[in-house]
Amino acid sequence: MPTTVVRQEVPLFTERWDAHLDEAFEYLRAEQPDAAYEAFMHHLQSHPNDENAYEGAAVALLQQTRWDEAQQLVERGRAACPNSAVLAARQTWLWVYLTQESQAYPLVVQLLEAGFRHPDWLRETVLPLRNVLICHASDPRLVSSNKQKRQHERATLLKGIQTLEHWLERYQFPIPDEPVGVKITLSMIARNEAEYLEECLQSVQGVVDEIVLVDTGSTDATPQIAEKYGAKVIHAEWQNDFAAARNIALQHATGDWILVLDADERLTPESKQAILNAARHPQFVGYYLEILNEIREGDYFVHRLVRLFRRMPYARWEGAIHEQIIPSLVSHKGRIATVAAQVRHLGYSKEVMRSRDKAQRNIEIILRELEQDPDDLFHKFNLANTYFALGDYEQAAYWAEQTCPYLRGDEDYAGQIWANWVESLTHLERYESALQVGADALARGIDHPMVHYTLAMVYARMGCAQKSLEALEAARESAIRIGLLAPDGETLLSGSGYVGDFGVVTYKWRFAYARALRELGRPDEACLLYERLVQERPNDPIVLLDYGQTLLQVGAREQAETIFQQLATHADYETVALQLLAKTWWEADDHRRALPYVRAVAYALPDQQEWLERWLYAAHEAGDARSFAEACEVYATRGYAPDAAMHINWGRALWQLKDYENALAHFAAAIELNPTDANAFLNAGDALYQLGAYNEAADAYSAGIERDPYNAQAWFTLGNCYFRMGVYDAAKIAYEQALQLDPKHAQAQHNLELTRERIRFTAA
């Protein structure tokens, strides 16, 4: 990614122009670039060879950081005005700040030899170009491995430096005595950061030449770890002032460049070369780096800070908290750029969750700063943001209200603070106020994806799914406009300068869109989004929860079961997942598949009798005697009293498991609870029969028949019992009675024939 120069003052090289351009140049001086550009371009329609109009139009574009368009316009102007020194100077200025120094050098020398000596051009083009050559000459990584070639390259660079210095001296432009080179110092302040520090220092190996760490009172191994990596450790008392501590570190640094990291930050491996390249371009006094604040694994909030800057004599940190280096850097017209480098910050969520005392400390420092400067919007923003991170939405909303209406709108944090205000009001359930704040932000030109996204969340809370979808579409369109997303609305781009949560145009956006589709009765479409979300975030329990429920809506029970099983691997969601798994098959009347999940829920929720009763029902319907007996045991253990029917079913389950003695105990309990229940006696007879107690079994069968004389099966089992006892006449009567009640009872007919045969044999 090419270096992007942040919007700052752009020098004007033209000094005299036609009176017709007065108004256009007035617009330019007043920093009204749109009006200026329109006026210059209108003039060029009738004066296509006016070099000053081209120069003015190019500067108007640059004031808006429209670098590509400015470059194209300058090339067009140079073609129309081939002898224009002003446009040639503008071309070299552009090349220097687009890090195309090799193209700039010959034209710069040509202009110098021709006598062009505009002081702003000398300061912003010639001097920086000389410094670039010095950096290249002093960087051992850039010289060739071939000795002869290395000597030639160095000689060429030195000659270029001498040439530029010659002309600067000839035109009496002072060459400042300032550090110029590629040596990088890592500057840190820390206190009790042993847990994080070593990984941080490992991340900058091969990038920094020096480490300076100011320790503000550690009681752990922080100083020793730093010294292990060769750091210069300075011990200083903490004064509740971050800038003061950072300035101490700055005073002890000797590098040409300062790289700033905190202990819980890491320079990403892909960023190392970008930092080394940046140090070869001292036309920039500082660089913004992208800070990836890890809210949770794979979830980042992104903002930019100047973390790499030249060690200029006037560079100094300002602000007791959320300290800034930029004001001092730009006080001497230094130019800030962005570099394609990222810093991963691990402590964003942990500090809030683990160290609320740190957050409270920060609040106290900010409030102290506001006492000195009550109108400082940046401090108010940070106060609102800290309260928001703590979940104190009342205070967050209050301080956002003290900040947002007074912002210009082009601040890096403008979109974030407006969105936080909307979200705070949403958490407070002040939905109408949240919508009003969001509308106000958009009316002020805060066209930020986070604002649109938070409005979508308000509509979702209010049950307005269609409006939520529309706000989400607006968020995506906004992201495309600012270059955060490619025109396809899917591909995330780098270099947009976006500050905020990437998630609001990626996975969070898809999740919210899918939920809105569900609410609108479009689950099939929602499933397509959830399927992608599961691929992107396979371990996100909320995604799994929603996807599984949506699959149930479309009747995809097998898929839903797989998703809920995955959800159950998350400890915090295991019980919820088991309930949903049970529901998946319970509602389909598939009690066999529901049974293991119902059983698991019954154990997980011991105070909910409903799930225990479901377990009993599912086991009974599935014919799983072992599970039913287990459920009965749990039922009684938890203090519930089984009725006669449950004792009978419990006994039958044990009977199927061939545990006849315990089965008999439950049949006896059923008889005691309900002596009129024939079924209890008959089942007791079955158990006694299996135990070989035929006399007792006959008594039990007889008692059962007494209570239910028309039960053919009962007569049949009584007959079997008499047959076993050898009382064949009684067996014959019982079988005949069974056949009288059920003439088609084949077993009774068969056993009756056997009994008659035995009687004949005995009689003979």
Q: What is the pLDDT of residue 351?
A: 53
Identity of the amino acid at 43: H
Q: What is the pLDDT of residue 585?
A: 97
Verify that 35 and 65 share a domain, yes or no. Answer: yes
Percentage above 70 pLDDT, the chain: 97
Q: Average pLDDT, stretch 558-575?
A: 97
Verify that 291 and 359 share a domain, yes or no. Answer: no
Percentage above 90 pLDDT, the chain: 86
* Residue range 124-167, pLDDT digits in tens: 999 999 999 999 998 887 766 677 787 888 899 999 999 999 99
* Residue range 593-626, pLDDT digits in tens: 999 999 999 999 999 999 999 999 999 999 999 9
Name the domain boundary from 297, 331, 354. 354
* Residue range 201-234, pLDDT digits in tens: 999 999 999 999 999 999 999 999 999 999 999 9
Closest CA to 56 of 22, 79, 93, 5: 22
Q: CA–CA separation, 267 vs 341, rounded Å?
A: 8
Verify that 49 and 118 share a domain, yes or no. Answer: yes
Q: Is the pLDDT of residue 168 over 60?
A: yes
DSSP string for residues in 658-711: T-HHHHHHHHHHHHHH-TT-HHHHHHHHHHHHHTT-HHHHHHHHHHHHHH-TT-
Q: Is the pLDDT of residue 575 over 80?
A: yes
Assess contact for 211 and 229: CB atoms under 8 A. Answer: yes
Please name every residue paired with 199 in a beta bridge, in sequence order, or none if there are none: none
Verify that 14 and 146 share a domain, yes or no. Answer: yes
Q: How many CB atoms lie within 10 A of CB 180?
A: 18
* Residue range 440-452, pLDDT digits in tens: 999 999 999 999 9
341 φ, ψ (degrees, to nearest 5)? -135, 145
CATH of residue 203's domain is: 3.90.550.10
Assess contact for 345 and 265: CB atoms under 8 A. Answer: yes
Q: How many CB atoms lie within 10 A of CB 514?
A: 25
Name the domain boundary from 144, 170, 196. 170
On whether residue 467 sits in a domain, the answer given is: yes
Torsion of CA 479, 485, 486, 490, to 10 degrees: -110
Verify that 515 and 392 share a domain, yes or no. Answer: yes
Q: What is the pLDDT of residue 350?
A: 54
Verify that 321 and 225 share a domain, yes or no. Answer: yes
Instruction: Quote the crossing angle between the two packed helices 694-707 and 712-725, to the nearest 10°.
Output: 160
On whether residue 278 sits in a domain, the answer given is: yes
The pTM of this model reads 0.79
Non-local CB neighbours of 598 within 8 Å, separated by 6+ positions? 582, 586, 611, 614, 615, 618
Q: Average pLDDT, stretch 232-246?
A: 96
Verify that 123 and 188 share a domain, yes or no. Answer: no
Torsion of CA 143, 146, 152, 155, to 10 degrees: 40
Assess contact for 282 and 184: CB atoms under 8 A. Answer: no
Q: CA–CA separation, 480 vs 266, rounded Å?
A: 29
Identity of the amino acid at 178: E
Q: Where does the pLDDT of residue 352 fall: very low under 50, low under 70, confident under 90, or very high at 90 and above?
A: very low
Verify that 68 and 56 share a domain, yes or no. Answer: yes
Find the domain containing 148 and state its range: 4-170
Verify that 346 and 359 share a domain, yes or no. Answer: no
Verify that 202 and 90 share a domain, yes or no. Answer: no
Closest CA to 468 of 417, 522, 411, 420: 522
> Both tokens of residue 673?
């609870």
Closest CA to 603 of 630, 565, 568, 570: 630
Verify that 140 and 198 share a domain, yes or no. Answer: no
Helix, coil or strand: residue 500 = strand
Q: CA–CA separation, 707 vs 709, rounded Å?
A: 6
Q: Where does the pLDDT of residue 249 fall: very low under 50, low under 70, confident under 90, or very high at 90 and above?
A: very high
Assess contact for 705 and 711: CB atoms under 8 A. Answer: yes
Helix, coil or strand: residue 654 = helix
Q: CA–CA separation, 144 vs 147, rounded Å?
A: 7
Q: What is the pLDDT of residue 1?
A: 40
Q: CA–CA separation, 465 vs 518, rounded Å?
A: 9
* Residue range 405-456, pLDDT digits in tens: 999 998 889 999 999 999 999 999 999 999 999 999 999 999 999 999 999 9
Torsional class of 497: left (φ above 0), alpha (ψ -120 to 50), beta (otherwise): left
Q: Is the pLDDT of residue 678 over 90?
A: yes
Structural domain tally of the chain? Answer: 3
Name the domain boundary from 170, 203, 225. 170
Give the mean pLDDT of the chain: 93
Q: CA–CA separation, 353 vs 475, rounded Å?
A: 29
Q: What is the pLDDT of residue 764?
A: 64
* Residue range 522-538, pLDDT digits in tens: 999 999 999 999 999 99
On whether residue 670 sits in a domain, the answer given is: no
On whether residue 701 sits in a domain, the answer given is: no
> Both tokens of residue 431?
């939905």
Verify that 13 and 111 share a domain, yes or no. Answer: yes
On whether residue 10 sits in a domain, the answer given is: yes
Helix ranges (DSSP H) in 144-265: 147-170, 194-203, 222-228, 242-251
Q: CA–CA separation, 581 vs 577, rounded Å?
A: 6
Q: What is the pLDDT of residue 761?
A: 86
Q: Where does the pLDDT of residue 362 fall: very low under 50, low under 70, confident under 90, or very high at 90 and above?
A: confident
Q: What is the pLDDT of residue 285?
A: 95
CATH of residue 451's domain is: 1.25.40.10
On whether residue 119 sits in a domain, the answer given is: yes
Q: CA–CA separation, 239 vs 245, rounded Å?
A: 8
Q: What is the pLDDT of residue 359?
A: 79
On whether residue 752 sits in a domain, the answer given is: no
On whether residue 329 sits in a domain, the answer given is: yes
Q: What is the pLDDT of residue 241?
A: 93
Q: CA–CA separation, 485 vs 476, rounded Å?
A: 8
Helix, coil or strand: residue 485 = strand
